Amino acid sequence: MARKKAGLLISVLFAASTILGGCGTADKGKDNKENAGEGAPAEEEKGFSLAMVTDMGGIDDKSFNQLTWEGIKEFAKENNLKEGEGGYAYLQSTSDADYAPNLNKLVRSGYKLVFGVGYLVTDAISEIADQKPDAQFAIIDSVVEKPNVASLTFKEHEGSFLTGVVAGLTTKTNKIGFVGGVESPLIEKFESGFRAGVKAANPNATVEVQYAGSFTKADSGKQIAASMYASGIDIIYHASGGTGNGIFSEAKDLKTKDPNRELWVIGVDKDQALEHGNEVTLTSMVKRVDTAVQDLAKRTMEGDFPGGQVLEYGLDVDGVGIADSKENLSDEVLKAVDDWKQKIVNGDIKVPHTRAEYDKFEV
């Protein structure tokens, strides 16, 4: 009798565990803010899986988070991974308080490689990396010096230099604008490289610099753009995430009022002509975040996780550059871009990545 009761108890426990295990897959919910659930502990997971935590820009920011997600999805497609627990997923952050809990949740759910997107996630990655020394993390656009963190960075100043060349050779008013999101060493790289490119291509042009104080306020971007265009600026380069959507909106509104007016926006991170059209998008400074994500995921899956290393992608490996949409660029401009790119790759030109370096920059 005791043996029968024991067998019955084991059967009940097995059935219960099966039911509970089936509850581990997350429901995306109506707001679609997350698609990763609380799964089994990491040591029970089989195969390779990866996930990401967004910054406050969100998964559909038409910029950095979106590029990371696209890279993860492409890697998943090539390796037959399914969306959800045990495959690939993301958690969206709506405030900085979400970063650490989201990272921790993905680790507990068993994902083998967890990406944090943007420098705003730096402190959280550092914190959770210490708490979970056996987990593998990657930080994009920042550096975390931990043995279980790979840091993916880009030479944004080099790509921005090329967009500065484009702006300097295209402007009709010799008045150009730069709009940053949150003032920081990272965005200073965009600013300094861009200003250097304008200076190299057109010493007579000036660049007005403004910061919106946010990467998510399109209304602020629209207001700044309105002021800049009203002052005679005809080209604005933005490095401001979702705030830049307001810049594009203002340019489109002004173009609608006066179709003959020449004014432009230079996009960032990805080819923003695909989102905003060629009517006002002159070019974009692209960062091959998607390619970098796929490269790191492949290395990690093959057992070559570069923990503790900083991987930097520049013009020499086409980690940065100008977008493929070139309809609005003349042959003269394209040739100049190629010439300056080669000088940078060859080491003939050192592009400044700080304001102090820009002040000393000479061609």
What DSSP assignment string belongs to 165-191?
A: HHHHHH-SSSEEEEEESS-SHHHHHHH
Q: What is the pLDDT of residue 64?
A: 80
> What one-character DSSP code corresponds to residue 26?
P
Q: Is residue 1 packed enough to be buried (19+ CB in 10 Å), middle (13-18) or exposed (0-12)?
A: exposed
State pLDDT tens for residues 172-196.
999 999 999 999 998 999 999 999 9
- Sequence length of the chain is 363
Across the chain, mean pLDDT equals 89
- Segments of 204-291 assigned E as strands: 206-211, 235-239, 264-269, 281-287
Token pair recorded at residue 97: 């308080």
Q: What is the pLDDT of residue 274?
A: 92
Strand partners, 137: 114, 149
Q: How far apart are CA 104 and CA 87, in angstroms?
A: 17
Q: What is the pLDDT of residue 161?
A: 98
Strand partners, 52: 90, 115
Q: What is the pLDDT of residue 60?
A: 84
CATH of the domain spanning 156-286+330-359, picked from 3.30.360.10, 3.40.50.2300, 3.40.50.1000, 3.40.50.20: 3.40.50.2300
Residue 17's pLDDT band (cuts 50, 70, 90): very low
Q: How far apart are CA 317 and CA 299, in angstroms?
A: 17
Q: Is residue 146 within 8 Å of 178, Cβ to Cβ?
A: no
32-154+290-313: CATH class = alpha beta
Q: How far apart are CA 101 and CA 295, in angstroms?
A: 26
List, by residue range, all CATH 3.40.50.2300 domains of the chain: 32-154+290-313, 156-286+330-359
